[in-house]
């Protein structure tokens, strides 16, 4: 397939927007808060609640995958360091 025959599809690159609670360059707390807020939202409203998706997109953009994997494992094992049921 030559370069002329390749079909290019538009790609929308989405990152977390500005959050006044986290004005500095280090976004670790922003990552953590969006992860926690997502699971609180899902537990309260369900996965189909559209505003929960914003928290999901934000933490997926900000958090390194190994952190997410570790937090998911901690949630499954019941030793996650934050309360997600309220």
Q: What CATH number is associated with residue 59?
A: 1.10.10.140
In a domain, 62, yes or no: yes
Supply the range of the domain harboring residue 64. 27-77
* Domain count along the chain: 1
Residue 34: closest CA among 19, 45, 13: 19
In a domain, 59, yes or no: yes
Q: How confident is the model at residue 6 (pLDDT cuts 50, 70, 90)?
A: confident
User: Could you give the percent of the chain with pLDDT greater than 70?
Assistant: 79
The number of angstroms, rounded, from the C-alpha of 23 to the middle of its chain's C-alpha atoms is: 18
In a domain, 6, yes or no: no
In a domain, 69, yes or no: yes
In a domain, 85, yes or no: no
In a domain, 11, yes or no: no
| pTM check: above 0.85 | no
Summarize pLDDT for 26-67 with one digit per residue, the tens.
778 889 999 999 999 999 999 889 999 999 999 999 899 999
Query: Is residue 14 a contact partner of residue 61, using CB atoms and an 8 Å limit?
Result: yes
In a domain, 43, yes or no: yes
């Amino acid at each position: 397939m030559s370069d002329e025959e390749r079909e290019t599809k538009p790609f929308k690159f989405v990152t977390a927007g500005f959050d006044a609670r986290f004005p500095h360059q280090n976004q670790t707390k922003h990552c953590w808060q969006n992860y926690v807020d997502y699971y609180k939202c899902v537990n309260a409203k369900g996965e189909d609640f559209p505003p929960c998706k914003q928290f999901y997109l934000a933490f997926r953009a900000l958090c390194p995958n190994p952190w997410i994997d570790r937090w998911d494992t901690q949630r499954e094992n019941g030793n996650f360091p934050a309360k997600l049921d309220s």
